[in-house]
Amino acid sequence: MNKLYLFLLTLPCFGNAFGQATTVIFEDFQGAFPSDWSLINNDGLSPEASVDFINDAWVVTEDLDNIGSGDSVLTSTSWYDPVGTSDDWLISPPITLGSFGNKLSFKAKSYDGSYPDGFQVFASTHNLIDSFFQQDTLLNIPAQSPEWTSYFISLDSFDLADQTIYLAFRNNSSDQYLLSLDSIYVGIEHPVSIPINDAQVITHIFPNPATSTIRIETIAKIVSVKIFTTEGRHLRTYTSNVINVSEINEGQYFMSITTNEGQVIKKFIKY
């Protein structure tokens, strides 16, 4: 992962230590374009000769920075002759979400830092362009970096739980170059049930997000504090109420706090 956008939530699976996830949809575009996805070339423009292999809104190509790798991605362009603005849509098949824990993740990349394409991501209960504009935009990236960037979005934050939705990815750039998507995933997390006890009520952590230290505020006696990755890998154990997180990488983690009143699990972000 080259870059983590911390204002978005959250990783697609918390691992066996904290719960399990059901994969609703996953598409990595290996082989032909998937028949249950749809494309809309809403601009009707002609690609410049150097990129005329982009003969639809989005096409399956090899990762253009790794020719010969056999890794397929989905690619769009905004480099037209004559110059124009892209309006190219990728729309998912219907996706039925759960009551909670609905997560979207995917990767995106532009291919020239001097001409970076941008994109938008939408969700709607209908798969028509007008319906996507009537909903909140899930994500708006004006200029995608020329590195594979992983994005993580909580669909519950947009009041989409318990609905059947369509996702849409739109290249809306003007006179840039190429943009690729890969590994589009929607999953439903099923966290392990943790009994409510006094420790959960009286234990707080701050600041969150944090850069160097996190302080645990509790009237209970701390027995241990363990830091886990979202995949459930144990990183460190502490026994005080001041936790040094300066040496761990940026990202999202779990803190398991055991006190004489019980155990509580807190999520935190290191940035």
Best-predicted range by mean pLDDT among 77-81, 230-234, 246-250?
A: 77-81
pLDDT over 70 at 198, yes or no: no
Calculate the average pLDDT of the chain: 85
The two three-digit tokens of residue 240, written as one number? 């005080």
The two three-digit tokens of residue 193, written as one number? 């049930």
pLDDT at 6 (0 to 100):
31
Residue whose C-alpha is closest to residue 37's, from 91, 73, 87, 108: 91
Best-predicted range by mean pLDDT among 153-157, 175-179, 229-233?
A: 175-179
pLDDT at 202 (0 to 100):
58
**Residue range 145-159: average pLDDT?**
88
pLDDT at 225 (0 to 100):
93
Distance separating alpha carbons of residues 270 and 247, to the nearest angstrom: 10
Peptide bond into 10 cis (omega under 30): yes
Residue whose C-alpha is closest to residue 4's, from 126, 183, 153: 153
**Strand (E) or helix (H) holding 95:** strand 95-96
137 versus 169: the higher-pLDDT residue is 169
Residues 6+ apart with CB under 8 A from 226: 234, 236, 237, 238, 255, 256, 258
Q: What DSSP assignment string belongs to 124-171?
A: ESS-SHHHHHTS--SEEESS--SS-EEEEEEGGGGT-TTSEEEEEEEE
CATH number of 198-270: 2.60.40.3080
Phi, psi of 250 (to 5 degrees): -60, 145
Pick the range with the lowest mean pLDDT from 22-26, 165-169, 226-230, 241-245.
226-230
Best-predicted range by mean pLDDT among 11-20, 58-67, 234-243?
A: 234-243
Residue whose C-alpha is closest to residue 234's, from 224, 221, 219, 242: 224
Q: Where are the domains of the chain?
A: 19-191, 198-270
pLDDT band at 191 (very low <50, low <70, confident <90, very high): low
Name residue 116's amino acid.
P
pLDDT over 80 at 209, yes or no: yes
pLDDT over 60 at 184, yes or no: yes
pLDDT over 90 at 96, yes or no: yes
Residues 6+ apart with CB under 8 A from 261: 197, 198, 199, 202, 220
pLDDT at 70 (0 to 100):
78
pTM higher than 0.95, yes or no?
A: no
The two three-digit tokens of residue 211, written as one number? 């850069």
The two three-digit tokens of residue 166, written as one number? 């369509």
**Residue range 174-197: average pLDDT?**
79
pLDDT band at 257 (very low <50, low <70, confident <90, very high): confident
CATH number of 19-191: 2.60.120.200
Do 231 and 265 contact (CB within 8 A), yes or no?
no
Percent of the chain with pLDDT over 90: 59
Q: What is the pLDDT of residues 105-116, one digit of tens each?
A: 999 999 999 999
Q: Could you tell me the CA-to-CA distances from 234 to 189, 213, 227 in Å, in that order?
A: 20, 18, 6
